[in-house]
Structure 1
Amino acid sequence: MTETSSPETPGPRPFDPASLRFDDRGLIPAIAQDAEDGTVLMMAWMNEASLRETLETGQVTYWSRSRAQLWRKGETSGHRQRLVELRVDCDRDCLLLQVTQKGPACHTNRRSCYYTAVRDGAEVVILDPIAE
Protein backbone atom coordinates (compact mmCIF):
# COMPACT_ATOMS: atom_id res chain seq x y z
CA MET A 1 0.00 0.00 0.00
CA THR A 2 1.32 3.44 -0.82
CA GLU A 3 0.59 6.79 0.72
CA THR A 4 -1.11 9.23 -1.62
CA SER A 5 -1.74 12.96 -1.59
CA SER A 6 -4.79 14.86 -2.78
CA PRO A 7 -6.29 18.29 -2.07
CA GLU A 8 -7.99 16.76 1.03
CA THR A 9 -4.80 15.03 2.14
CA PRO A 10 -1.81 17.18 1.16
CA GLY A 11 0.68 14.64 2.47
CA PRO A 12 2.20 13.85 5.84
CA ARG A 13 1.77 16.51 8.52
CA PRO A 14 2.33 16.53 12.28
CA PHE A 15 -0.46 14.84 14.25
CA ASP A 16 -2.21 17.07 16.76
CA PRO A 17 -4.52 15.21 19.20
CA ALA A 18 -6.33 18.51 19.79
CA SER A 19 -7.60 18.25 16.19
CA LEU A 20 -9.77 15.27 17.19
CA ARG A 21 -13.46 15.62 18.04
CA PHE A 22 -13.66 14.51 21.67
CA ASP A 23 -17.15 14.34 23.22
CA ASP A 24 -18.38 16.70 25.95
CA ARG A 25 -16.61 14.52 28.56
CA GLY A 26 -13.32 14.81 26.68
CA LEU A 27 -13.50 11.22 25.41
CA ILE A 28 -13.23 9.55 22.03
CA PRO A 29 -14.11 5.91 21.17
CA ALA A 30 -11.09 3.73 20.36
CA ILE A 31 -11.48 0.39 18.59
CA ALA A 32 -8.62 -2.08 19.03
CA GLN A 33 -7.98 -4.37 16.07
CA ASP A 34 -5.40 -7.13 15.71
CA ALA A 35 -2.81 -5.67 13.34
CA GLU A 36 -1.97 -9.06 11.88
CA ASP A 37 -5.35 -10.63 11.09
CA GLY A 38 -7.85 -7.76 11.43
CA THR A 39 -9.90 -9.25 14.27
CA VAL A 40 -11.78 -6.55 16.19
CA LEU A 41 -10.68 -7.09 19.78
CA MET A 42 -12.44 -4.45 21.86
CA MET A 43 -13.72 -0.91 22.13
CA ALA A 44 -12.78 1.47 24.93
CA TRP A 45 -12.48 5.19 25.52
CA MET A 46 -9.48 7.46 25.31
CA ASN A 47 -8.94 11.02 26.43
CA GLU A 48 -6.15 13.29 25.27
CA ALA A 49 -3.82 12.16 28.09
CA SER A 50 -4.30 8.44 27.36
CA LEU A 51 -3.79 9.03 23.64
CA ARG A 52 -0.60 11.00 24.22
CA GLU A 53 0.74 8.30 26.58
CA THR A 54 -0.08 5.61 24.02
CA LEU A 55 1.76 7.50 21.28
CA GLU A 56 4.75 8.23 23.52
CA THR A 57 5.19 4.73 24.97
CA GLY A 58 3.59 2.35 22.44
CA GLN A 59 1.74 0.71 25.37
CA VAL A 60 -1.98 1.21 24.71
CA THR A 61 -3.55 3.26 27.47
CA TYR A 62 -7.27 3.99 27.74
CA TRP A 63 -9.43 6.10 30.05
CA SER A 64 -11.43 4.09 32.58
CA ARG A 65 -14.78 5.80 32.99
CA SER A 66 -15.71 3.68 36.02
CA ARG A 67 -12.45 4.42 37.89
CA ALA A 68 -11.94 7.91 36.39
CA GLN A 69 -8.26 7.23 35.72
CA LEU A 70 -5.84 6.10 33.04
CA TRP A 71 -6.08 2.38 32.29
CA ARG A 72 -2.93 0.83 30.90
CA LYS A 73 -4.28 -2.22 29.11
CA GLY A 74 -2.88 -5.36 30.69
CA GLU A 75 -1.21 -3.59 33.60
CA THR A 76 -2.64 -6.08 36.11
CA SER A 77 -3.50 -9.04 33.85
CA GLY A 78 -0.38 -8.97 31.68
CA HIS A 79 -2.63 -8.97 28.58
CA ARG A 80 -0.99 -5.90 27.10
CA GLN A 81 -1.61 -4.17 23.81
CA ARG A 82 1.24 -2.61 21.84
CA LEU A 83 0.34 0.01 19.26
CA VAL A 84 1.31 -0.81 15.70
CA GLU A 85 -0.59 1.99 13.97
CA LEU A 86 -3.15 4.63 14.93
CA ARG A 87 -5.85 5.52 12.42
CA VAL A 88 -8.33 8.39 12.61
CA ASP A 89 -11.75 8.15 10.97
CA CYS A 90 -13.02 10.68 8.42
CA ASP A 91 -15.02 12.68 10.99
CA ARG A 92 -12.08 12.65 13.44
CA ASP A 93 -14.40 11.37 16.19
CA CYS A 94 -13.30 7.73 16.42
CA LEU A 95 -9.93 5.99 16.55
CA LEU A 96 -8.79 2.64 15.21
CA LEU A 97 -5.81 1.21 17.05
CA GLN A 98 -4.05 -1.58 15.22
CA VAL A 99 -2.31 -3.52 17.95
CA THR A 100 -0.42 -6.62 18.88
CA GLN A 101 -2.32 -8.28 21.71
CA LYS A 102 -0.63 -10.42 24.34
CA GLY A 103 -3.20 -12.87 25.71
CA PRO A 104 -6.95 -12.29 25.60
CA ALA A 105 -8.30 -8.78 25.03
CA CYS A 106 -11.57 -9.35 26.90
CA HIS A 107 -11.96 -9.43 30.68
CA THR A 108 -13.96 -12.68 30.17
CA ASN A 109 -10.66 -14.29 29.06
CA ARG A 110 -11.68 -14.38 25.40
CA ARG A 111 -9.58 -13.17 22.49
CA SER A 112 -12.22 -10.57 21.59
CA CYS A 113 -14.97 -8.78 23.49
CA TYR A 114 -17.20 -9.53 20.50
CA TYR A 115 -17.82 -13.16 21.37
CA THR A 116 -21.61 -13.13 21.03
CA ALA A 117 -23.40 -13.15 17.66
CA VAL A 118 -27.08 -12.71 16.90
CA ARG A 119 -28.11 -15.48 14.52
CA ASP A 120 -31.68 -16.21 13.50
CA GLY A 121 -32.95 -14.01 16.33
CA ALA A 122 -30.93 -15.73 19.05
CA GLU A 123 -27.71 -14.83 20.82
CA VAL A 124 -24.99 -17.41 20.29
CA VAL A 125 -21.59 -17.49 21.99
CA ILE A 126 -19.05 -17.94 19.21
CA LEU A 127 -15.76 -17.67 21.15
CA ASP A 128 -14.83 -19.74 24.15
CA PRO A 129 -12.54 -18.45 26.88
CA ILE A 130 -8.87 -19.03 26.30
CA ALA A 131 -7.57 -21.98 28.33
CA GLU A 132 -4.82 -20.96 30.72
Structure 2
Amino acid sequence: MPFDLDSLKYNEAGLVPAIVQDAGTGAVLMMAYMNREALEKTLATGETWFWSRSRKAFWHKGETSGNVQRVKEVLYDCDRDTLLVKVEQHGAACHEGYYSCFHYRLERDGSVTVVGEKQFDPEQVYGKR
Protein backbone atom coordinates (compact mmCIF):
# COMPACT_ATOMS: atom_id res chain seq x y z
CA MET A 1 0.00 0.00 0.00
CA PRO A 2 1.61 3.32 -1.02
CA PHE A 3 2.11 5.88 1.73
CA ASP A 4 1.64 9.60 1.20
CA LEU A 5 4.57 11.35 2.91
CA ASP A 6 2.48 14.52 3.03
CA SER A 7 0.08 12.78 5.42
CA LEU A 8 2.69 13.09 8.18
CA LYS A 9 2.16 16.02 10.54
CA TYR A 10 5.21 18.20 9.98
CA ASN A 11 5.66 21.16 12.34
CA GLU A 12 5.45 24.80 11.22
CA ALA A 13 9.04 24.56 9.93
CA GLY A 14 8.15 21.50 7.84
CA LEU A 15 9.99 19.09 10.14
CA VAL A 16 9.11 15.89 11.95
CA PRO A 17 11.14 14.44 14.86
CA ALA A 18 12.97 11.22 14.00
CA ILE A 19 14.03 8.99 16.88
CA VAL A 20 16.87 6.69 15.81
CA GLN A 21 17.12 3.30 17.49
CA ASP A 22 19.62 0.45 17.16
CA ALA A 23 17.61 -2.28 15.40
CA GLY A 24 19.57 -5.04 17.14
CA THR A 25 19.76 -3.84 20.74
CA GLY A 26 16.84 -1.44 20.99
CA ALA A 27 19.14 1.31 22.32
CA VAL A 28 17.97 4.83 21.50
CA LEU A 29 20.84 6.45 19.61
CA MET A 30 19.71 9.98 18.79
CA MET A 31 16.87 12.30 17.87
CA ALA A 32 17.04 14.59 14.87
CA TYR A 33 14.62 16.20 12.44
CA MET A 34 13.61 15.22 8.95
CA ASN A 35 11.72 17.21 6.38
CA ARG A 36 9.92 15.51 3.52
CA GLU A 37 12.99 15.50 1.28
CA ALA A 38 15.26 14.07 4.02
CA LEU A 39 12.75 11.27 4.54
CA GLU A 40 12.64 10.64 0.78
CA LYS A 41 16.47 10.49 0.68
CA THR A 42 16.49 8.12 3.66
CA LEU A 43 14.00 5.78 2.01
CA ALA A 44 15.76 5.95 -1.37
CA THR A 45 19.33 5.41 -0.12
CA GLY A 46 18.79 3.15 2.89
CA GLU A 47 20.93 5.49 5.02
CA THR A 48 19.74 8.26 7.32
CA TRP A 49 19.42 11.86 6.15
CA PHE A 50 18.27 14.71 8.35
CA TRP A 51 17.64 18.43 8.16
CA SER A 52 20.07 20.50 10.22
CA ARG A 53 18.16 23.35 11.84
CA SER A 54 21.35 25.24 12.70
CA ARG A 55 23.04 24.91 9.29
CA LYS A 56 19.76 24.91 7.35
CA ALA A 57 21.09 22.11 5.17
CA PHE A 58 20.73 18.38 4.61
CA TRP A 59 22.88 16.16 6.76
CA HIS A 60 23.82 12.64 5.72
CA LYS A 61 24.65 10.83 8.96
CA GLY A 62 28.22 9.55 8.79
CA GLU A 63 29.27 11.73 5.85
CA THR A 64 32.14 13.26 7.85
CA SER A 65 32.76 10.62 10.54
CA GLY A 66 32.09 7.48 8.51
CA ASN A 67 29.66 6.37 11.23
CA VAL A 68 26.74 5.67 8.92
CA GLN A 69 23.33 4.36 9.85
CA ARG A 70 21.90 1.66 7.58
CA VAL A 71 18.12 1.82 7.76
CA LYS A 72 16.32 -1.40 8.60
CA GLU A 73 12.84 0.00 9.21
CA VAL A 74 10.98 3.31 9.41
CA LEU A 75 7.84 3.53 11.51
CA TYR A 76 5.54 6.43 12.32
CA ASP A 77 3.37 6.88 15.39
CA CYS A 78 -0.42 6.88 15.60
CA ASP A 79 -0.52 10.70 15.56
CA ARG A 80 1.71 10.74 12.45
CA ASP A 81 3.93 13.38 14.06
CA THR A 82 7.02 11.35 15.01
CA LEU A 83 9.20 8.83 13.17
CA LEU A 84 11.07 5.86 14.61
CA VAL A 85 14.01 4.88 12.43
CA LYS A 86 15.55 1.51 13.27
CA VAL A 87 19.12 1.25 12.03
CA GLU A 88 22.26 -0.80 11.95
CA GLN A 89 24.71 1.68 13.46
CA HIS A 90 28.29 1.65 12.18
CA GLY A 91 30.54 3.27 14.79
CA ALA A 92 29.26 5.90 17.19
CA ALA A 93 26.03 7.82 16.61
CA CYS A 94 26.93 10.85 18.75
CA HIS A 95 29.08 13.72 17.51
CA GLU A 96 30.68 13.77 20.98
CA GLY A 97 32.15 10.33 20.25
CA TYR A 98 29.73 8.15 22.22
CA TYR A 99 27.68 5.29 20.80
CA SER A 100 24.43 7.03 21.80
CA CYS A 101 23.66 10.73 22.14
CA PHE A 102 21.88 9.76 25.37
CA HIS A 103 24.99 9.31 27.50
CA TYR A 104 24.24 11.81 30.27
CA ARG A 105 22.25 10.28 33.12
CA LEU A 106 20.51 12.61 35.58
CA GLU A 107 20.79 11.17 39.07
CA ARG A 108 18.12 11.58 41.73
CA ASP A 109 20.43 13.85 43.74
CA GLY A 110 20.70 16.23 40.77
CA SER A 111 24.18 15.18 39.70
CA VAL A 112 25.06 13.94 36.22
CA THR A 113 26.86 10.71 35.35
CA VAL A 114 28.36 10.03 31.93
CA VAL A 115 27.47 6.50 30.84
CA GLY A 116 29.29 4.60 28.13
CA GLU A 117 32.75 5.12 26.74
CA LYS A 118 33.92 7.39 23.96
CA GLN A 119 34.47 5.50 20.74
CA PHE A 120 36.34 8.29 18.98
CA ASP A 121 37.85 11.72 19.62
CA PRO A 122 35.58 14.34 18.03
CA GLU A 123 38.45 16.80 17.50
CA GLN A 124 40.27 14.24 15.35
CA VAL A 125 37.16 13.65 13.25
CA TYR A 126 35.58 17.11 13.04
CA GLY A 127 38.43 19.42 14.06
CA LYS A 128 38.16 21.99 16.85
CA ARG A 129 34.80 23.67 17.16
TM-score (structure 2 length as normaliser): 0.90
Distance 2:30 2:65 in 1: 16
* Structure 2 residue 38 is the aligned partner of structure 1 residue 62: no
* Structure 2 residue 99 is the aligned partner of structure 1 residue 111: yes
Greater C-alpha radius of gyration: 1
Counterpart AA for 1:41: L
User: Mean alpha-carbon deviation: is it higher for 72-81 or for 116-125?
Assistant: 116-125
Distance 1:44 1:25 in 2: 14
* Structure 2 residue 50 is the aligned partner of structure 1 residue 31: no
Runs of 4+ that moved beyond 4 A: none
Counterpart AA for 1:47: N
Give the root-mean-square deviation of aligned CA atoms: 1.1
Distance 1:35 1:48 in 2: 23
Secondary structure of residue in 1 paired with 2:43:
helix
Count of residues in Structure 1 that have an aligned counterpart in Structure 2: 120
Can you give the 5+ residue segments of structure 2 that lack an aligned partner in the other structure?
122-129
Percent identical pairs in the alignment equals: 48
Distance 2:8 2:63 in 1: 26
Can you give the 5+ residue segments of structure 1 that lack an aligned partner in the other structure?
1-12
TM-score (structure 1 length as normaliser): 0.88
Secondary structure of residue in 2 paired with 1:85:
strand
In the TM superposition, residue 127 of structure 1 has moved relative to its aligned partner by 1.6
1:10 is aligned to none
Give yes or no for contact 2:106–2:113 (8 Å, CA) kept in 1.
yes
Distance 2:70 2:3 in 1: 19
Match of 1:84 among 35, 54, 72: 72
Distance 2:118 2:99 in 1: 7
In the TM superposition, residue 45 of structure 1 has moved relative to its aligned partner by 0.4
Secondary structure of residue in 1 paired with 2:66:
coil
1:125 is aligned to 114
